[in-house]
Structure 1
Amino acid sequence: MFALRVLSRKNVTQPTARLLKNSNRLFMMQGRTSVPQASLLLNRFHSTTATEQEELNDSTANNKDHHAVVSTFDLFSIGVGPSSSHTVGPMRAAKIFITDLKEHKVLDKVASLRVDLFGSLALTGVGHGTPEAILMGVEGESPDKVETSTILSRVKDIETNKSIRLDGTHRITFDYEKDMVFNYFKTLPQHPNGLRFCAYDKDANMVATNEYFSIGGGFVVNAETQLDHGENVYYKQINEKDAVVAERREQDVAVVSLPFRNSEELLAVCKRENMTIAQVVFENELKWSTPEAIREKLLKIWNTMDDSIRNGVMASPDEYLPGSLRVRRRAPRLYNKLLKGLYGGPLNSASGGYNASHISTGKEEEQALSQSTPDTSNTQYPLALSFLPKKPKKKFVLPALDYLSVYAIAVNEENACGGRVVTAPTNGAAGTIPSVLKYYLEFISDNPERDVMEFLLTTSAIGMLFKRGASISAAEMGCQGEVGVACSMAAAGFTAVMGGSVDQVENAAEIGMEHNLGLTCDPIGGLVQVPCIERNALAAVKAIAAAQLALNGEGDHRVSLDQVIETMRQTGVDMMSKYKETSQGGLAVNVPLC
């Protein structure tokens, strides 16, 4: 997807459409190309002739026919806080750039590196941990594997020694103050979250450059791929070797069993096939993974969510979140109060006073699992019906909202500290879905494993619809694109595991977003703390309320989910940029930092 293109000096001087067409690729420079020349070259690629623009429009129009299906495991991914668009995406982009250098055997030629951040990445990057994430990506780390406890010390060493190791092996000069450039008042045309990498040799000649865009949820695209949100590309791969299917872009339409572009089509598929939303998603996942692999990955996602809750509630109540706001952790104290009433005593960390909801994925329990897991040798279509039988309707009792709030706050405090969380669908909204699922498992569930699968697959379907129909990036949509989407997803998932019909699930998702429309993203000090943490708690409560309204109805309603998604998109387009993750408006300017 991020293929390389080698350019000779002759190529560099030719203003051809062929060069423009390949502007998404990593440009390899040969000969003495000065920095001004390189900048001119990059700027040239942002201009198009009438013919080229017509080709671009045709391509965009074709993308509108692409279905909404992306993998659940691209929508939910394990990463590092505090932001999927500002931390996970940039780390992934940096690793992609370095991996490309390595694969084209020019890594050893690089003597220095310059990183330019644009738009929202520049304005709120420091508070969101963007520079630290990029440096880790340059050193070869990935969001799901980097040891979070070592990031700050490693960044400090890079700043002190004025050097960095590309891919963890090749040490080059890197002066953070000069080579990490924040373009506060510039935005690249494709997306507000833009960044550019430029690699130079020992004589200051440019070796390679590329631009990337972090579009929310950890997804990374570049100039060509950022054409339309309906385009079906799996952007989270680092290189083709890591892809589940190497040519996913060309094969998606052919391999997806049950495609859908919007909620109307999703409901039609469910009714035509007599399947739940989770079963439809499961059936599509079978094209890329085995049933056992799907189960294992879903449980791994949940176990990571559960760990993030546990780490949040078991932290020291006297600990402060990083940054200038001096916000103290609240989840440990709130959880302690809850345990006093439930267990008759205070939280005792020494005895592990957290009620873990881990679900084993190990082979040591294969025999026990075989008794409850369907026979996978049964190839009768659709296989999802065997793994995810339809649920009987359950009685609903008003939940203990205190638990929802504590769980959501715990996850987002971990996120604010740069801990391990799951993008759900983003890091800024990482607490809403886990808190709702945790509540259900603790107080209602009678089959945790299948409920986790049902919940996550249902929520992912709703997330796919928002990603295609609008965006899950706060830099484009404001916080309605993150916390609002998470609320809608959680409401749908909760309705599904409570035994609601597909119409009731769609209704719950619609209610969840309808009452988050217009929600702005105005983080104080550029930190993912205030108001982000509390917003997740309130979104979890809203999700349960939305599910309750839907379950008490018959599924028929005046406003459809598709209409709400389109309204959200229009609202995001109309919203002023100061309310879209720039910290230039709202609470960010009305609440003093001192």
Structure 2
Amino acid sequence: MPLSIFDLYKVGIGPSSSHTVGPVVAANRFLDELRERDQLDQVASVHVGLFGSLAMTGKGHATDVAVMIGLMGEKPDLVDPDKVPVYVDQIRNTKQINLAGERMIAFNPETDLPFNFGESLPKHPNGMHFKAYDAAGIILHDNIFYSVGGGFVLSDAEAGKEKGAEPEFKLPFHFDNGVELLEVCEREGKTIAEIVLANELTWSEQDVLEERLWNLWQVMDNCIKRGCTEEGELPGGLHVKRRAHELYEELKSSPEAALKDQLTVMDWVNLFAIAVNEENAAGGRVVTAPTNGAAGVIPAVLAYYDRFVPGSNRQGIFDFLATSAAIGMLYKKNASISAAEVGCQGEIGVACSMAAGALCAVMGGTNQQIENAAEIGMEHNLGLTCDPIGGLVQVPCIERNTMGAVKAINAARLALRGDGEHHVSLDSVIETMRQTGLDMQDKYKETSQGGLAVNVVAC
């Protein structure tokens, strides 16, 4: 199916889109299948096996928690993050779960939700095997789901389909790669944002579309604001202290510092990214942009536009989101946005590329300059590994978002200083990222078996 802005940007909870949001979605889908088969009332127990990266770093990414709240029928965009710990404590203490929010069944996370370390399912590193049993212990229904990054979930049958297969229908302005996107823009005399927003009208009326886009920005902005107020340590055992609140108070108390040091704006951008990713690490409400691990890059750059770029406005925010989504669609179609598949270049790298192109657009860049900015954003993130200490999206993930945001701003400015002509195309850098991901050893793909994860003591 063609991709929408709202496929790339989903409201969910932390700490991970692939390890948290995706498993909630998978559990919801399994419940839907049971309903369709008229078997939900017959279920006496459920077993969910976690495989690959979901097993290796699932504890740190709260994958087990995600599966449990998903089996309860909670949705990623609607669940109250503050209630999740209460739900989990009840399940662990009672050894029961309120299946689909309708009936209590036996469920012991220790035995019914195993982490199958060292085992992978064949079609993607992030695999889950759901099984529902009746009172006699006979399997009523089972299915395998893959969380393929950014909250996207494929069933076993869907994952078996050829990537790039012909979609069921085509949007008014169809494009599969950067060259086609630029050609469509040239032919129609439109910007990248105008092309994407016109496509969105396939699914939504104009007023509904604008409301949904504004809501995305409001969730991002509220995440920044909440991150600036929270204090204490992040959960997980690394004893990582929240820094956003202290940094915010320091910057707010010395506004005259910007007059002496013009790079103070960089401190604000760093703050925006840190605030979002501390909220994500704490399990708060965030927007996958395009993933949770990279959730701070795009909000930080969009907040930079909103607060520091003269002439910023509501339409500019819509254009930013649409342009960035177009770039994200190219990565999703032609490479990956999953760190478990291609390393962190597929998360921070993609977010940086998306943000760079979008900022270039709202600062007056041509379509060619936008493509150039997006290319620069990824070219200098190629080979970026995913090596979270303790399987937690804290070190190096939080600071890595600040670097992605600042790099995106610089990429946009570099592109704006040029005329759009450049040696490496966006399509070429996307293919290079894909190939680099294939060549990258698995220990650098969100398994916590290499890099910083093994060279720094986790406690």
Give TM-score scaled by structure 2 length: 0.97
Q: Hey, what does 2:445 align to over in structure 1?
A: 580
Q: Show the counterpart of 1:374.
A: none
The corresponding residue for 1:260 is 175
* Partner of residue 180, structure 1: 113
Deviation at 1:447, TM superposition (A): 4.5
Tell me what 2:216 maps to: 301
Deviation per CA, 1:275-320, whole angstroms, max 9, x where unpaired?
A: 000000011111111111111110000000000000101112xx10
Q: How does 1:65-84 map to 2 (within 5 A)?
A: 69-84=2-17
Question: Residue 337 of structure 1 corresponds to which residue in structure 2?
Answer: 250
**1:147 Cα deviation from its structure 2 partner:** 0.7
SS at match of 2:115: strand
Q: Is the 8 A contact 1:445 1:451 kept in 2?
A: no
* Residue number among 106, 118, 123 corresponding to 2:56 in the alignment: 123
2:357 aligned residue? 492
- C-alpha deviation, 1:446, in angstroms: 2.2
TM-score scaled by length of structure 1? 0.75
Q: 1:240-251 alignment to 2 at 5 Å?
A: 250=168
Match of 1:550 in 2: 415
Aligned partners of 1:229 and 1:467 also within 8 Å: no
C-alpha separation in 2, matches of 1:231 and 1:325 = 44
1:361-380 equivalences under 5 Å are none
Whether 1:230 and 2:145 are equivalent positions in the alignment is no
Structure 1 spans left out of the alignment, 5+ residues: 1-65, 233-248, 345-396
Which of 178, 181, 184 aligns to 1:269? It is 184
Matches within 5 A, 1:450-469: 450-469=315-334
CA distance in 2, matches of 1:512, 1:470: 15
Q: Write the distance in 2 (CA, Å) between the matches of 1:229 and 1:398.
A: 44
Compared CA separation, residues 268 and 210, structure 1 to 2 (3 A): same
3-state secondary structure, aligned to 2:149: coil
SS in structure 1 at match of 2:254: helix
> In the aligned structure 2, how far is the partner of 1:506 from the partner of 1:116?
42
Mapping for residues 482-521 of structure 1, pairs under 5 Å? 482-521=347-386
> How many angstroms apart in 1 are the aligned matches of 2:36 and 2:148?
25
2:196 aligned residue: 281
Is residue 144–residue 155 contact of structure 2 (8 Å, CA) maintained in 1? yes
- In the alignment, does 2:235 pair up with 1:322? yes
Which stretches of structure 1, 4 residues or more, deviate above 2 A after TM superposition? 227-232
1:85 equivalent to 2:2? Answer: no
State the shift of 1:399 in Å.
7.6
**Structure 2 stretches lacking a partner, 5+ long:** none
**Residues 143 and 156 in structure 2, CA contact (< 8 A), matched pair in contact too:** no
Residue 570 of structure 1 and its aligned partner are, at CA, apart by 0.2
Amino acid at match of 2:183: A
Matches within 5 A, 1:467-478: 467-478=332-343
% identical aligned pairs: 56
Pairwise CA distance, 1:339: 0.5
Alignment-derived partner of residue 571 in structure 1: 436
Q: Tell me what 1:10 maps to.
A: none
Structure 1 residue 224, shift from structure 2 partner: 2.4
CA distance in 2, matches of 1:486, 1:126: 25
Shift of 1:82: 0.3
Whole-angstrom CA distance in 1 between matches of 2:387 and 2:306 = 33
Equivalent pair of 1:523/1:588 in contact (CA under 8 Å): yes
Report if aligned partners of 1:231, 1:468 keep a CA contact under 8 Å in 2: no
Q: Which has the larger radius of gyration?
A: 1
Shift of 1:231: 4.7
SS of residue in 2 equivalent to 1:210: strand
Matches of 1:156 and 1:293, distance apart in 2: 38
1:155-211 Cα distance to aligned partner (Å, 9 max, x none): 011011001011011111111111111111111110000001111111111111000
The 5 Å alignment of 1:531-546 reads 531-546=396-411
What residue in structure 1 maps to residue 302 of structure 2?
437
1:366 matched residue in structure 2: none
> How far did residue 518 of structure 1 move?
0.2
